[in-house]
Every structure is written in structure tokens, then in C-alpha cells.
Amino acid sequence: MESNVPYALRVVQSANLRHPDLPLVEIFLQNAADSEQAARYFLQTYTDDVGGSKFTQFADDWKCLVKKSYIENPHSKYLDSITKRAVAQRDNNSCCILGTRSRFWNSSGLFPVIPLTAFYIKEKRLYDLLGAFIGSSHRDFLLSARDGDSISPRNHWYLGKSVAMSFSTGELQLEHISNAMYDIRHNSGVNSSPFIIFKRICHWQCNLIDHSATGIQSPDSRLLEIHRRFAPAMRWTDISAKMERRKPRTHKPPNRNAFSEILIKSALTIWKIFPDFIRLQTYKMLAYAGLRLYGKATRQVQRLPFGMFMKFDAQERFSPRIMNEFNALTLPRPIDLIVTSNGSYLISSQIKGVGAGYALDECSDEEMHVIAQDLQKYIAELRTIQQKPDSTYAISNPSGGPFLDYRIDVSPVGPFPTERDFSDSLRLGGAPDVVHRDDHQIVFTHADINLRNIILRDGRIEGIVDWENAGWYPEYWEYTKCRFGVRVSKRWLKMLEELFDHKYEEELKIEQVYWELDSGM
């Protein structure tokens, strides 16, 4: 029997909901205890909805239900002092997730697993909706627990204030493993790396045991499971609240002071007179300070104080001619490059803003459209840059030599005299007849435009970083690399289709065959 879930999702996606209402409503179907049951409930509610009023009522009810589990400023003021002391001893006066004790910059305390408002569901529509989402047994447990368990140790634990805020707004959730062991999940799309709160790394498991050995009840696994179901929807509710409170954003181009730039260039000229080992040791000390201040950026990149970044084993190579041809696009300016027997160290300027992967969720639909237009303009500008007339190779790095592209290899490859040579080099034995055409235009390409490398500020693109893969490639390469490795960001994928106007669908299918063969899928 065919599942109702895909059809129900199509109904939701065709309703033209504004962001972030679309992902918020999708969570009802995607994260329910029984997605099939949730889909049946939704479709029965939606049946014969001629004017759309039933769907609107459903969406409003769902948002109302989520808000009962969502709280921006959690507290446990209603607990008596004896219970507070017992719970603190049970949790060893340490944050149950980070394992740290209270500090003056990040105070700790007792917080609820589920806020009191979630225990009081009186409206029949919300009662039925709750049962369809978390299951009737968990619903009945939750509503029966309001008479005492809502203010008992089973619904409270010791957390750092910042962790409690993240948990209560759905950024963090726990998934039960066994006994009192839980996996820690992060709902911001960065599950692959440890979660950092106040510069401390949170590893991905915690143990909610009774440290006091008094037999006091630990946080109830059923309450944590209910929170886990609601957490992604709570996060979208939090994003919606931030967007509603936010004033209209006005993007101002970075202010460049000519006199200041002259002073900086003069200081750098003097600084580069110093021997490499002195400069390198200085940068390493700044890197250590940056690690303590900002945490680790990536394996190869470290943010430094004074608006700089250090990149290890950097491959970026830009001639002044290439850099001077970027008019509309802000680039990280190279400050220093030190090459040693152990590798290279590139010091570059910081572009103010945040990576698109962290910012897109809080961008409105209108801002997403403007971002797509900006990116289209920047890519068009890149494509106006011409190779030197005497260049021997069609596919190469900016200097005409071998290029680095992790889609192909971890080491530089090429250069290639023609597109046919390049396309032949991509062929795989598992699909010998799958090959790209060789009649594409060859254009200058960033070759790694992704959610990490686009820097946004005030809802606009401030700049693009990480140019080590840049060079001349076939025109489709920018698009397929934008899609490379992306599976979950629907807004990003939708923006790419708007940006490239479905122009390279054939090339994408070929690349996807290569990706699957390379990954062994």
C-alpha cells in the first residue's frame, strides 16, 4: 500500500506558505512518532477544503501547539528549595549536557525539560493534533503528568544558562540510547562537528545518572522523547520569532578609507621585512589566541584576532591582474604567505558577516531572491575574466597551471589542453560510456561556492571566500559544484535552480553518476 506521507508533503509544499512556515508545517509529517498516522490525520483534516480555510486552521493549530512546548526564557521559579537542592545534587551541580559547573560568564541552574504550558492542552483540536504527532500513549502521559510530574525532579535538570536556552528553543535535543545514556543532536545542520557553547566543545553523548545515589528520579525519558519530536519545529518557531522582531535590514557596502588602506599597506610592507620564522611564530601565537577566543573554524582554517584568518596548506594563487578584475565582489585580501618544509600558511583579511549556512534560515523569501540575484551578478562578473591569449591550456588554475578540486582529487590535477581531455579524465570504469559533452564555453569559475563560502551580512552577500579551487572550467562546473554534497538544504537547492535556470540538468545527471560511483553508493 502506498504511503500517504509523500502525498501529504506535496499538499503542504503546494500551499505557498511563506518562510519559515513551510518547514515548520513539514515537521508535523516528517518528525511524528508515526508519520503515516500523522499524514492520515492531516489529509482527513484537509479533505474537501475548497477555500483553504481548513488548511489555514490546521497550520494555525500546529503553530499554537508548538508554541506550548517552546520557551525563550526557561526558568524553574515554581520549584521549592528542597526539590531544587535534591536535583542539583543528583546532577552533581554540573550541566547535564556540557558536564561543566557554573561560571560567572555562564551561570547554571535548574530548568524544565518541558515547560508547564505543554502540560495543559484543553482544546479538542489541539488534543487530537498532539495525539497524531507524538502518539496517544505519550499524549496521555503528558497530560496526566500535569498534576505533579510537571514540577517534579523528572521534569527538571541542571543546565548552563546558554545550554538551557538552546534546548528550550529546539536547537538541541537528546535521543535515548540505553539506560541513562543519550545522544546529543543539534538542529542547525552541523551535526558533523561538535557543538560549541561559550567556546567549550560539547561531545555527542551525555549520561543522566543520579550522582547523589539517593534514588531521586532522573529526567524522564518520555519527556525527553516528546521534546525530541517537537525540537525541530521549536527551532523554526524561534527563527520565526526573531524574524518578526527584526527591523527591516539595510545593507551598507563596507566603508573603505583610502588613507587607512595606505597606512595598512605601509605597515605590512615593513612587517614583511622581518624573517619568515618570526612572522610565522607571531601568527601561531595569534592562532592560539584565536582558538581560545573563537573556537576552531575548520581543520585548515583558524580565525585570528585583528580581523584575520590563517589557512594551512593554502592553495589560493591569484595574480594582481585577476584580483583587479573583481569589481562588485568583496574578496578576502591576502596579507602574508609563508611557505615552509611543513606546509604553507596564508594570512588573509576577514570579510565581516556569517556563512550562508548559518544565515539562510533567517532570511525572508524576498531576501533569498535578492541573494540569488547578487550571486548571479557575481558569477557573471567572474565569467568576464579572460584567459591570456597565449595560454596553452583550456582547463587550468588562474596562473595556467595544475588546479585543485576535491571533487576530483585531494592533489592538484591537470592542466588540460581541451575540454575533451578534461572530460575524459573524469570518466570512471563503472560507467565508461557516461561522459560530458565537449562543446561548453570555458569560463573563470570559483568552483566551490557553497553555504560555508558565501558570507552574508544584513541579508545580502558581503563576499565569497575560499578560492583555492578557482580557475577556468567548463561553464556547467560552477553549478554542479554548488550541488556537490548538498542533500538537505532545500532553500539552497531551490535558489540554485532560480540562479542557473535549470540550464545544466543533463550535466548534473552525469555528475551525480560520478558522485555515486566515487562514494561507493
CB neighbourhood size of 326 (10 A): 16
> Do residues 175 and 283 share a domain?
no
Angle at 500 between CA 494 and CA 504, to 5 degrees: 105
> Do residues 388 and 478 share a domain?
yes
In this prediction, residues 317-329 reach a mean pLDDT of: 58
Dist CA 450 CA 188 (whole Å): 16
Query: In degrees to the nearest 10, what's the CA dihedral of 127, 131, 132, 134?
Result: 130
Dist CA 351 CA 514 (whole Å): 34
Nearest Cα neighbor of 178 from 142, 155, 208, 214 is 208
> Do residues 411 and 314 share a domain?
no
> Do residues 83 and 184 share a domain?
yes
Taking each helix axis as running N to C, give the angle between helix 365-382 and helix 490-500, from 0 to 180 degrees, rounded to the nearest 10.
50
Higher confidence at residue 79 or residue 495?
A: 495
Higher confidence at residue 472 or residue 255?
A: 472
Q: Range with the lowest mean pLDDT among 98-107, 177-186, 292-301, 339-348?
A: 98-107
368 Cβ contact partners less than 8 Å away, ≥ 6 residues apart: 19, 360, 491, 495
Instruction: Share the mean pLDDT of the chain.
Output: 84
10 Cβ contact partners less than 8 Å away, ≥ 6 residues apart: none
Angle at 73 between CA 30 and CA 231, to 5 degrees: 10
Dist CA 168 CA 111 (whole Å): 9
In this prediction, residues 123-140 reach a mean pLDDT of: 93
> Do residues 114 and 142 share a domain?
yes
> Do residues 339 and 360 share a domain?
no
> Do residues 381 and 329 share a domain?
no
> Do residues 307 and 384 share a domain?
no
pLDDT of residue 285: 92
Angle at 385 between CA 383 and CA 386, to 5 degrees: 110
Helix or strand (DSSP H, E) at 186: strand 181-186
pLDDT above 50 for 403: yes
Residue that is last in its domain, among 349, 364, 379? 349
**Distance from the Cα of residue 103 to its chain's centroid:** 28
Residue 216 domain flag:
yes
Helix or strand (DSSP H, E) at 276: helix 276-294
In this prediction, residues 177-188 reach a mean pLDDT of: 84
Instruction: Name the percent of the chain lying above pLDDT 90.
Output: 32
pLDDT of residue 192: 36
In this prediction, residues 162-188 reach a mean pLDDT of: 88
| Residue 117 · residue 68 · CB < 8 Å | yes
Residue 250 domain flag:
no
Question: In this structure, is the dihedral angle defined by the CA atoms of residues 416, 419, 425 and 426, taken in order, positive or negative?
Answer: positive
Higher confidence at residue 253 or residue 374?
A: 374
Range of 22's domain? 5-245
Instruction: Name the percent of the chain lying above pLDDT 70.
Output: 87
Residue 455 domain flag:
yes
* pLDDT, tens digit (0-9, with 9 covering 90-100), for 195-250: 444 334 445 788 888 888 888 888 999 999 999 999 999 999 999 999 988 887 77
Residue 256 domain flag:
no
Nearest Cα neighbor of 464 from 318, 285, 258, 338 is 318
Amino acid (one-letter) located at 329:
L
Please name every residue paired with 200 in a beta bridge, in sequence order, or none if there are none. 197
pLDDT of residue 322: 60
481 Cβ contact partners less than 8 Å away, ≥ 6 residues apart: 405, 407, 445, 447, 448, 449, 450, 469
| Residue 197 · residue 163 · CB < 8 Å | yes
Residue 513 is placed in which grid cell?
553518476
* pLDDT, tens digit (0-9, with 9 covering 90-100), for 12-36: 988 888 899 999 999 999 999 999 9
Please name every residue paired with 201 in a beta bridge, in sequence order, or none if there are none. 196
> Do residues 333 and 199 share a domain?
no
Residue 253 domain flag:
no
Residue 251 domain flag:
no
In this prediction, residues 462-473 reach a mean pLDDT of: 89
Instruction: Identify the three-state secondary structure at position 174.
Output: strand
Higher confidence at residue 51 or residue 59?
A: 59
> Do residues 183 and 289 share a domain?
no
Taking each helix axis as running N to C, give the angle between helix 124-134 and helix 136-144, from 0 to 180 degrees, rounded to the nearest 10.
120
Residue 401 domain flag:
yes
> Do residues 178 and 70 share a domain?
yes
Residue 416 domain flag:
yes
Nearest Cα neighbor of 97 from 195, 215, 220 is 195
pLDDT of residue 424: 93
Please name every residue paired with 94 in a beta bridge, in sequence order, or none if there are none. 101
Residue that is last in its domain, among 183, 214, 245? 245
Residue that is last in its domain, among 245, 277, 294? 245
pLDDT of residue 128: 93
CATH assignment at residue 456: 3.90.1200.10
Q: How many domains does the chain have?
A: 3
> Do residues 204 and 335 share a domain?
no
Higher confidence at residue 59 or residue 72?
A: 59
